[in-house]
Chains A and B, each alone.
Chain A
Amino acid sequence: MKATETKLSVTLESNFQSVEVAEKFVHSAMDRFRLEEAESHRVEMAVRESVINAIQHGNRCDESKKVELEINLTPAKLTIFVRDEGQGFDPASIANPLEENNILKSSGRGIFIIRSFMDEFSVRRRHNDGSEVMMVKRLSSNSNSNSS
């Protein structure tokens, strides 16, 4: 690992108590990285939505399966991985929640929120090993200048 890179990770159970664990983990990391409050909130929310998806849709709440949350920070960007043991999904297949027919639906906004709050979002299938969501937030030059 490069000297300027900080890496944190946690393994989560596939239950909804883990959402709170992930939230506290990320909140603590954001405090450590000294991100601005508004930016921090967006990252925390993106992670929360992603972890819920991993538990609910990826691992289908199977408690024998785990979710891995990994945060990598460099001076230029924050990269977050959420890995599950499910079959993955095609983000292109998710309906646009802004369309007239969808706007009053009670679900289907999670991925849209992640995309809105992060600079990059991608999903890939890991070889025989579940799926991985990658989210990137590019950092302004003074976002994390005090982290060490």
Chain B
Amino acid sequence: MTMQLKTRKVDIVNVVDINGKITLGEGNVILRDTIRNLLARGEKKILLNLGDVTYIDSSGIGELVSSFTTTTNQGGQLKLLNLTKKVQDLLQITKLLTVFEVFTNEAEALQSYK
């Protein structure tokens, strides 16, 4: 399944619900464009909901890192919500759990931006 992505604004936070694969090619490009578009509109509080991500490869991880650094460099915040076991394992072995702020509860995640 290719990636599907929906963005919703909850109070001051842009929640990006991602469904499917974040992998080399289309998935990465869609995510990159979405983050760029949000930042271009001045929307710098971003929460990526990865609860329905079925697969992520090293390119997808690279895109998450790139999204994080781009947002941070522009004075924004990018956090992660609802990691699946597979995504969590990969972020663990690549030590990226020490980089990202990760939440399992959307309300708590939203509260953290205030």
Contacts and interface: CB of A to CB of B under 8 A. Distances in A.
B58 interface: yes
Given A52-B24, A104-B69, A105-B65, A97 B94 contact: yes
B107 interface: no
Given A16-B24, A45-B57, A49-B58, A112 B94 contact: yes
Contacts of B25: 16
Contacts of B23: 48
B86 A41 contact: yes
A32 B47 CA distance: 39
B30 interface: no
Contacts of A41: 86
Bin chain B's interface residue count: 20 to 34
Interface of B: 23-25, 57-59, 61-63, 65-66, 68-69, 86, 90, 93-96, 98-99
Interface residues of A, number: 19
A106 B94 contact: no
A107 B69 CA distance: 13
Contact of B99 (A48, A49, A103, A110): A103
